[in-house]
Structure 1
């Protein structure tokens, strides 16, 4: 068994035997042995307390925190020695020893409790504890003095009782008011109270000699230090703050000052009812309670004044902080009515208390933002408080009637009794919002036209495609020739054209449509209309954007190409693919000719991919020797003999296969290699004609040429040089231009044709009748030959000639102008017979002869063709 249990039990047994004479044990030795056992127990407890004091000193290197445990240990030693002395000393001495030990132990225990961690930490607090204890102790002593009746209490006993009662009161009050280390303080206080009460019983034994009182008191004195030692061990576990929501201490909410008065009053009433009188000691003892109460009241007044000054200072600090803050603080009740606003309201927002306090917070918000903010407030009221207060943005009306952009945080402080409200911190973010708008304008607006830029178009396109069921279209618009205008007339003129084009775009669009500039001369329109209506919108845009641009000092005409692609939320394509599709359609429209709109589809993409392949492969085609010429004979229709040949270009590429001129030449013209290819074609055809000349000296050669080739300044000189190099007479060469290509550059064609005729080279118009102004411009053209399509020959009636076939009209016109008429693309026997009937001398076509390589044409030249 532990020593702390064995020794008190052995001491109690010895003491009982000595007092009662059990087992024949002499009284004094037994009492001495019992006293020794008690001393050992208290010494053991004192040792534990002193060791704890040394541990605290080793940890803190100071004597302050360890004094409490050390004094409790000294109190235990004092109590044990007092018990041993009372047991060993004779009557007459033991009374004074007992009272002295009681007073000494009470003072030491009292000092230890006050100096324990978590107890009274300041001198004023210790003074208040002492006065409270003195008041309660005096009232207890007063009661103890009156209750025995008329028998007076000895002065020494009365003084010891007063001191012991005061010490007990102070110990109890201090232990109960401890906030931290509460379990340790309560255990130490309980041990100290037990030891003092036990010593009080020893004093009673010293006066009365009751052995049973001695036995019980001794055990209590021995148990007190053990309990105090347990409390000291608990203090080693660290501070133990009270649970949240509990009072600061047990006695913090009770009027301790009323306790002495109640005890004294109760004792006095009991004494009078018992028929006793008050002697001088009783009166003085009762009056001594008054100074304690007065002193406590004085200390309370001093504390109140000090706390008042502190609260006033804190309130002033709070007001200065709130008034000088850049946030407006509002307190809202659960009904969202403003209960208080910070003084900064007038300075920041011009809002007075009369305009805000007592009114609904929602009334201050913009109608468009009100529902969102109210919903956020209700969510805060319904949900438990979170770690991060919610942030809401809204426009708030200030005291001048203007709307301010604000940002507010909402904090639920209903759990704080002094607040019990929602606290809203409102901050004016108008400058930041204005800066964000400016940054948005810089980042998402074109600086020349003021229209949204590519980034804004893409952002809006992504937002629209995120809406389920959305349908719309994207139109990509290119103003052709802007770069040339900038180079020729200056950047200012080009910018003025872009600004005017942007203005025209806006005039045709609805508020739901978004115009924008992609860069350069490219614009875009993102419309919410379906593809069909978007196509109609694109047609109207063509009309508006191609109208002449009236600028200061000049008028500019622009051509426009528009591509259209569908926009749908169900499409699996990305926004970049939508833009690429619209751009592909725009490129296709540009290839097809100016002022066109194209609708993207998969076939169009195939054509564009094919064109890109052609553009990639056409570079270096002559060096790779992939070009070839085939020749189609031109027959004399009356006798079916070969009068000439037309050179036709073919491109045989390993990756693309055979590419015909209709696909090859437009690409060559766009990328600028057509003059080089045209020179190769003419040189190769003349070389072949030179090879045929010995056998067929009258054979003619027809070569196609484009207006862009004719526009080369030295074109005629190069033709003359090649004719001389191959020894070919100029009249055997015929240069022809397709009629639908002539309007592109009429003056250049007329000039160059005139120079070719002056050289002796014959000129011709191919596909005559396909143009819009063929007959009107025919007189201006220096040509020798008209080539008429077989479809035109097969037309039976000319509505403008009173029922005469159209071919007869053309033949008659040609004869009056001195022009030779040649039929081409004769595909059927009926077309050949109609050409013969109309009096045409020459013709060509699949029905007469197909294009073939030079070696096959040589065999054809010797065999006249007959119709079946």
Structure 2
């Protein structure tokens, strides 16, 4: 480690060796001892400094922090090598020592100026050099006039170069250490070590360059200069190492004016400049003459001083501009602030207040300055505020106080103040109190309370207030009920009539809801068109209340220029059946959604009470909605086939493709359950499923017909799918893709789902134009009259079991009805198929009426294609071409 006890003892032993050599073994051997011990000491510490630089570079991966230690190490390395070389007997030690000084001094200075915290900017380093140059040249000038100028001309230039380099380098090192911005202990150690090393090596060189070197061969002790130079060269590297060891200490905080190092060292030029003037005057008075060297040194010192003056003037001007800008910003911030800032002294007397005091409280400086702050406060608040302020004076970091302050008009104003102790800041020197007017806070809190608990559009309670009231009722186990409702088709009102009409509808709906509810009931708006009522009535009375509300909301909304017809399904839940408000609200919403499902297609306004089975059904429906997307890709759909046979011969003539969804968790989901949900979800899911079934049916029919079976295939289609623009093209594509005759495909649509409009007739006619036959399924369960069969372009009529299922004790009652349907169909050229044949009596009834074809469990249940093929084999299906 650099600067550790081992290096300390090395330096101490080296110093002892230098002294002993100089005092005991004579000048020549003393010179060799100085060269050896001083050189070895410098080389050891040079190695430590270079290792430190490398370690810093490896740790930070950057050349910036390690450059200072590296250059100091290079300087110590040059010093050690050069001084050690002067001890060689075959070399002239004088020029070697001079070269060592000229090379080592710049390395030391570069290392000092690049140390962290000494000179942070390039401008600061230039100022350090100018400061040192001015001081060093001035001191050399004084020395030259007295002593050095009297040397012999032969050695004067080299000695002058060494002396100039040494003086300037030492001065720069001292200025750099004294004016370090941060890490001052480390900088002082390194600068002291560099200065000692430069003093030692330059003094050593000057001693060896002297013309009178007879002391080298004279007996006795070595000159005192040699001893001093040797001690300096031994102590210098040790101080360098000790300073580098403290480079990791906590950095000191510089003054704002010295932060970039611009002003550092400037006042130090005054003393050497005055000394140079005094020496010059004394020299002239004593009759001395100035040679060229002294004149050149004087001019150099004056030039360095002049340049430093210019830079100092520029620094002062720039710093003054910075201070002026900061003051202007501070004044702007304080003047424009809405908070009032007051500065108090230790006696709590107002010493300064910001301009905002006059704007905010009407307090002029005459009203406040020089008075205790407590004189401006309400008597009831003065003592607590004074206690809080004294607590801050006693060491509390900051505090928050509230008090009533008398303004300039004599009124009491509610205020809130934060107090910060700024006595340590010389610019402030007191307690800073930031005062804010909070007189409007109470009114604001009341307003916020109203906004928090009330719906801003309708004036009803909002969801937060409603949930809080319901939660309280559940917690207290009070009997009561909760009603949830939502206006149907409300979104279309805004789309058709604009947001203003929609807002008026909401306001009118809220008025009707408030009028229908009881005096102790709590109506609320929960969402865009969602409302709720909290009542203490039991479930039966709550049902009656829900009915009144649904009736009131079903009345037309008569608005200026508009009449809006809406309805609302209402769900009712018992509070005692729920654990908390959210659960009760969920129960009511489940009942409301159940009411909407049951009212779909009707007039609306239905009321339902919560039942647990509703929630089970809702969960199942939600699960189906989530699982329907991607059902084809997962391979969960399947198609079963049910044969259609001739009732007389029991020979199969066709089959019906029946969709099945086999879900791994939900089990088998019937089409009647999931197809309406698929149509409601949209996104083409229902169309995708319908086309998939169509292609599966055509592919299976194509396979059977390739095997020579003369069959046709019927496929069910919903009314929405039939009305789709791409359905006819999808049917044509399926027929062409699987190469089946168009007349072998029968498209079935249920009678109850068939829309009574011209477009449906047009779509059925389009299927006929493709060659595809059409069928009306489950005839007898819908509103289609027999007379309407004449205008419907259908080829097959599939009568429902409801037409031929005879009531008990009325045998033969169904035969005339079926006979009429079959007779009319035969005259219209429509084939009739009896669906749902389950018993032989069913077959007898339809056969007696003249129906030739039938379908049902009596003939064969729906099954997979391979099982149906086995049925076809058993009944010897006629082969094509036979």
TM-score, structure 2 as length reference: 0.45
TM-score, structure 1 as length reference: 0.46
